Amino acid sequence: MGISTFALCYKLTNISIPQGVTFIDTSAFSSCSLTNISLPQGLTSIGENAFISCDSLATITFNSAVTTIYDRAYTIPARTKIIGYDPSTAKDYATKYNRTFEVISTQPINPDYTYTVTDEKAKITGYTGAGGAVTIPSNLGGFPVTSIGDYAFRGCTGLTSIDIPQSVTNIGMGAFSTCTGLTSITFNSATTTIYDYERTIPATTKIIGYDPSTAKDYATKYNITFEVINLATNDIYRGLVAYYEFEGNANDSSGNANDGNIQGKVTFENGVIKKAIKFGGVYNPGVVRVPTSDSLKFSDALCISFFTKIDDTTGVTGYGAVEKYGFHTVIAKSHDTSGTAIWSVFYDDCLSIVYFSDWYSYPQFSISGSAKVNPKNWNHVVLAITNNSAKI
């Protein structure tokens, strides 16, 4: 959520922040009329003066114990009651600035798991649940689940299937050994490290994941049945109008024939899922042009999802001048009644995505979202727009 996203929105009294939001930037809600707000578990940071002059804000609830709050008294109004875990960064802030603090609980409890916390990251060490189809939580005790320890699920014969979230980066030795009833295990990340031991996952368990992925590599090495995640069963595929896999071209795989024409300097390289297209930059530009079509004329809603990374921060200003921390055009559309664009810019370890609508007509609006990221890593961006709202 970018700088001053909702600043001076005097009529904004309530808002629901989705779980995907990880960062609230400087003055994002300054001078709003919010009365209460609950922040998602995945929120990692709140910028300077994020809620300054929100004089009606009675409570702010932190659903994570480790959200970083900018160390300034005006970041959260003095009269606002802070609700959070004990211990937590929210309590630390309240104590430092003499704010009213209310405890959610000493720690949210999930009786199905035992876990440890190191460097504010949770590792599952055991399972005590009833079995059956299990979805491993992405968060325990307010801390992100990033690993499953050695032999954590060993001998859990009642398990039938396991779904592992994207947050898990490491699976320990023998984590699912002798889980004799386990028919399938699904990896929602293409890069989860699986301990290189033939009994980490039972030989009879079907592994479901991306292609390519570390899950497929493990299945191939130990001759275990592998199935590619069927993305087409997801609701997000309803209404799909264009899908670009960049397998050496810019053809549309959605069936709508919105194929792109490549112009200028582009190359193809490995991406997060299949291939990615790499553009030549401001001094050797390349572009993919997609002819207009009826399926690309949007009136009610639009959702765009893409992965991006920036090798060089050099970009352009809105007037076309080249500068060190300029904008990079990701998508632009201008061949019907409105013109829209998505830009990315990387500055001071912060990736910002900016959306601007209707440059040919009014009303115009723009929104932005920012996150502290590693520029050398891939970052997943989703933009959702309806008639009366937009989210990044």
pLDDT at 319: 63
pLDDT at 47: 87
Strand 101-103, strand 81-84: pairing: parallel
Residue 239 lies in a domain: yes
Number of structural domains found in the chain: 3
Report d(CA 147, CA 168) in Å as an integer: 5
pLDDT at position 360 over 80: no
Residue 144 CB neighbour total at 10 angstroms = 21
Residue 219 CB neighbour total at 10 angstroms = 22
pLDDT at position 293 over 70: yes
Point out the domain boundary residue: 73, 103, 133.
103
Residue 373 lies in a domain: yes
Does 259 share its domain with 370? yes
Give the side-chain half-sphere CA count within 13 A for 26.
4
Does 225 share its domain with 255? no
| Mean pLDDT, all residues of the chain | 82
Does 281 share its domain with 205? no
Provide mean pLDDT across the span 376-383.
Answer: 78
Q: Are 47 and 23 in contact (CB under 8 A)?
A: yes
pLDDT at 220: 96
Provide mean pLDDT across the span 171-191.
Answer: 93
Give the residue, 355 or 124, on which the prediction is more confident.
Answer: 124
Report d(CA 267, CA 289) in Å as an integer: 15
pLDDT in tens, 63-115: 888 888 988 898 999 999 999 888 888 999 999 999 999 987 544 556 788 88
Residue 87 lies in a domain: yes
Does 246 share its domain with 126? no
pLDDT in tens, 126-171: 998 889 999 998 888 767 889 999 999 999 999 999 999 888 999 9
pLDDT in tens, 310-335: 888 787 776 667 888 777 777 777 64
Report d(CA 152, CA 172) in Å as an integer: 8
Q: What is the CATH number of the domain that holds 186?
A: 3.80.10.10
Does 221 share its domain with 367? no
Residue 104's closest CA among 58, 63, 69? Answer: 63
pLDDT at 362: 47
Weakest mean pLDDT among 20-24, 184-188, 237-241: 237-241
Q: What is the CA radius of gyration of the chain?
A: 23
Report d(CA 75, CA 362) in Å as an integer: 34
Report d(CA 152, CA 175) in Å as an integer: 5
Say how many Å lie between the first and final Cα of the chain, rounded: 7
Distance of CA 314 to the CA centre of its chain: 25
pLDDT at position 19 over 90: no
Domain that holds residue 150: 113-229
Residue type, 219: A
Point out the domain boundary residue: 179, 213, 229.
229
Which whole-number Å values give the CA distances from 291 to 217, 250, 323, in the listed order? 39, 12, 30
Q: Are 190 and 167 in contact (CB under 8 A)?
A: no
- Residues of the chain with pLDDT > 70, as a percent, come to 82
Which whole-number Å values give the CA distances from 200 to 1, 162, 191, 204, in the listed order? 40, 14, 16, 12
Query: Which helix (H) or strand (E) covers residue 117, if one does?
Result: strand 113-118
pLDDT at 322: 82
Does 239 share its domain with 381? yes
Query: Angle CA(376)–CA(189)–CA(153) in degrees, nearest 5?
Result: 130
Does 27 share its domain with 167? no
Weakest mean pLDDT among 114-128, 175-189, 356-370: 356-370
The three-state secondary structure class of 358 is: coil
Residue 212 lies in a domain: yes
Q: Tell me the two tokens of residue 84.
A: 């959070």
Does 90 share its domain with 159? no
pLDDT at position 234 over 60: no
The three-state secondary structure class of 277 is: strand
Beta strand ranges found along 259-349 (DSSP E): 261-264, 266-270, 275-279, 286-289, 301-308, 315-316, 322-323, 328-333, 340-347
Q: Tell me the two tokens of residue 74.
A: 């005006």
Burial pattern 320-356, b for ≥16 Cβ within 10 A else e, equals eeeeeebbbebeebeeeebbbbbbbbbeeebbbbbbb
Residue 6 lies in a domain: no
pLDDT at 336: 46
pLDDT at position 359 over 70: no
Residue 350 lies in a domain: yes
pLDDT at position 29 over 50: yes
Q: Tell me the two tokens of residue 168.
A: 């898990």
Residue 334 lies in a domain: yes
pTM for this predicted structure? 0.44
Does 224 share its domain with 313? no
Does 382 share its domain with 239? yes
Does 247 share its domain with 353? yes
Residue 175 CB neighbour total at 10 angstroms = 26
Give the residue, 24 or 302, on which the prediction is more confident.
Answer: 24
- pLDDT-derived band at 25 (thresholds 50, 70, 90) equals confident
pLDDT at 240: 80
Does 179 share its domain with 276? no
Q: Tell me the two tokens of residue 208.
A: 């479901």
Residue 207's closest CA among 169, 161, 168, 174? Answer: 161
Point out the domain boundary residue: 83, 103, 123.
103
- pLDDT-derived band at 214 (thresholds 50, 70, 90) equals very high
Residue 7 lies in a domain: no
pLDDT at 51: 92
pLDDT at 291: 85
pLDDT at 337: 46
